[in-house]
Structure 1
Amino acid sequence: MTIQGFNLKPDHLFLVTGGAGFIGSNLCEVLLNNGNRVRCLDNFATGKKDNIKDLLPNSNFELLEGDIRNIDDCLQACEGVDYVLHQAALGSVPRSIKDPITSNEVNVGGFLNMLLAARDAGVKRFVYAASSSTYGDSKSLPKVEDVIGKPLSPYAITKYVNELYAEIFSKTYGIETIGLRYFNVFGRRQDPNGAYAAVIPKFVMQLMKHQSPIINGDGSFSRDFTYVDNVIEMNIRAVLTKDKNAINTVYNVAFGERTNLNELVVLLKKYLSRFDPAIGNVDPEYGPKREGDVPHSLASIEKAKKLLGYDPKFDMQSGLQEAVKWYWKNLK
């Protein structure tokens, strides 16, 4: 993957926290393929060694097993680093409702540790995974970066606090930060298993087993589903932009279209039926709404286009076809 107008020079050392996770492992792979040195920090709470097994033989790749809740691990990870791509976090709204303390320890305490370590190491720029959950109960559509509502979950609070800390560190200590508000990212290596699996891989696995996917609510809730390659592009653009007006701020990372859950199931059945026609006969079932869920999510990506030159290549349907092919090949 190459980004027009940017040169990922091989003399850069990148730290990817959560580098064995879904998004982190994809970032590590692209950075290595462009000749960079990459250090991965992960405690494997949610990341998987299988995600980075093909990267381990690369002499430019370093795995550091550690926890962002441990300041010494963060300090060690940041030594000699040019750029931090901070992906490590405990995701999932339901998980944060069940266990808000751990979500706060990882997402807030761990984030602060990483900011401190990056500051002390003289890191050039700190790019971090923010979240569309920050928009909370704001009903305006599309979501514009400077208009947010009140958080609807402990997870949303932690991700908003990240933005506040990043802003303060930029103003107080001069460290360059950019926050990327991810909107429902999906794609290769996203884990379909576990109680907090994201909706797309979870539905894919259920349909592949001829099981009815369970839709929370009536299926009318909609999301701006965003393919992982668009997210990788934004991270790289955020790291390497030289425009001073483009730093120390936050951006939406999405495609700018929304799909409801009923439409999602129809598309998944269509694409999976190419491999197994029987999947076309599997119908969804409906359950109660999920506590803390935002009804509708749609991003404005105008700010990212204007300041970073963001040009997402994958709409939801083209990304979904790529993801389905990957799941069928790797998980069937």
Structure 2
Amino acid sequence: MKIVVTGGAGFIGSNVVRALVEMPEVTEIIAVDDLSTGTLENLVDLPSRFLSGTILDAGLLDEALAGAASVIHLAAVPSVPRSIDDPVRSHQANATGTLMVLEAARRHRVSQVLLASSSSVYGANPALPKREALRPMPLSPYAVSKLATEAYALAYSSCYGMAVLPFRFFNVFGPGQAADHAYAAVVPAFVSAALDGRPLRIFGDGRQTRDFTYVGSVSSVIVEAVRRRVSARDAVNLAFGTRVSLLDLVAELEAVLGHPVDVVHEASRSGDVRDSQADCTRLRELFPTVRPQPLRVGLEATVGWMSARVPAGR
């Protein structure tokens, strides 16, 4: 079976490709990426075919999707702050890009489309934990574009009978996640700073909470969805109901490193939500055998991966 991964050279995408390689049912893997945030280094030694280009290119999508059994659509311009700086680019990549992928999947009669949405769609809705039936209240262009991603998928399911599964990701972290840019996610930013001996920057008081999800757990769910051909009539949270403050994250990181780290507090950022925690009832119903990696285990793997990339003597 042929599987296409858009954003396949990115952090989550390359981890998914690595997991797909272990599936005996998979005979061909196509990774599509424009390398705007991904890197070919992530695909080194993985038996996949790489197609360079944007998902806004219908011809490229036709080449990639012809004969595919499933599309795992992860390509996006990530980050809330990045979308605030450039909302049009965020919309084009995340909303219009999703529409292009769905149209290509329809042209080629792909039997399953899995898509990445985001917990950011809950936005200002204060209810915890975040149940999929809650009213979305997005606070950023990124969140709006991700809401459009899942809405388009569900519309295509309704109009064209397409089997879709939109996942709402919650603060995914792990090996392969870049920290060397201004929009880096909090875990790689913290780990990189700690390894460099720099203070960890916390925007706000640090008591804001997140449902940190190890990328290996995300990949396991996605691979299981492909294997069992799982689809859904609504978005599904892909997280496991943990609630960790940034201050607690710092404490966990100190325990992994074996020494304290310095922290500096800065003003809260526009578009950031205060608290996030998934209700994983629907996920457990669809994937009852999947077990998440504990935060400590995920941090150990992330620190190990990033330590190997710190130049000697730095």
The answer to whether the 8 A contact 1:216-1:290 is kept is yes
The answer to whether the 8 A contact 1:234-1:310 is kept is no
Q: Which residue of 2 aligns with 1:276?
A: none
Q: Which residue of 2 aligns with 1:78?
A: 65
State which drifts further: 75-84 or 179-188.
75-84
Q: In the alignment, does 2:251 pair up with 1:266?
A: yes
The answer to whether the 8 A contact 2:256-2:296 is kept is no
Q: TM-score, normalized by length of structure 2?
A: 0.95
Output the CA distance in 2 between the equivalents of 1:241 and 1:136: 32
Output the CA distance in 1 between the equivalents of 2:154 and 2:144: 16
Q: Which residue of 2 aligns with 1:303?
A: 282
Selected match of 2:39 from 28, 31, 48: 48
Q: Which residue of 2 aligns with 1:225?
A: 212
Offset of residue 326 of structure 1: 1.9
Q: TM-score, normalized by length of structure 1?
A: 0.90
Which structure 2 segments of 5+ residues have no match? none
The answer to whether the 8 A contact 2:214-2:292 is kept is no
* Residue type at the aligned position of 1:24: G
Q: In the alignment, does 2:305 pair up with 1:316?
A: no
The answer to whether the 8 A contact 2:209-2:274 is kept is yes
The CA RMSD over aligned residues, in Å, is: 1.3
State which drifts further: 304-313 or 24-33.
304-313
Q: Which residue of 2 aligns with 1:7?
A: none
Q: In the alignment, does 2:101 pair up with 1:114?
A: yes
The answer to whether the 8 A contact 1:15-1:39 is kept is yes
Offset of residue 69 of structure 1: 1.4
User: Secondary structure, in 3 states, of the residue corresponding to 1:106?
Assistant: helix
Output the CA distance in 1 between the equivalents of 2:32 and 2:86: 23
> Superposed, which structure 2 residues align to 1:1-332 within 5 Å?
12-35=1-24, 36=26, 37-55=28-46, 58=47, 61-241=48-228, 246-273=231-258, 280-309=259-288, 311-331=290-310
* Residue type at the aligned position of 2:210: R
* Residue type at the aligned position of 2:181: G
User: Secondary structure, in 3 states, of the residue corresponding to 1:330?
Assistant: coil
Q: Residue by residue, what CA displacement relative to the aligned partner does 1:16-73 show, whole Å, maximum 9, x if unpaired?
A: 0000000000111111132422000011000001111122xx3xx2111110111221
After the TM superposition, which segments of 4 or more aligned residues of structure 1 sit over 4 Å from their partners? none
Output the CA distance in 1 between the equivalents of 2:147 and 2:280: 19
* Residue type at the aligned position of 2:124: D
Q: Residue by residue, what CA displacement relative to the aligned partner does 1:300-328 show, whole Å, maximum 9, x if unpaired?
A: 11111112325223122222222222222
Identity of paired residues, percent?
38
* Residue type at the aligned position of 2:306: Y
User: Secondary structure, in 3 states, of the residue corresponding to 1:169?
Assistant: helix
Offset of residue 286 of structure 1: 0.3
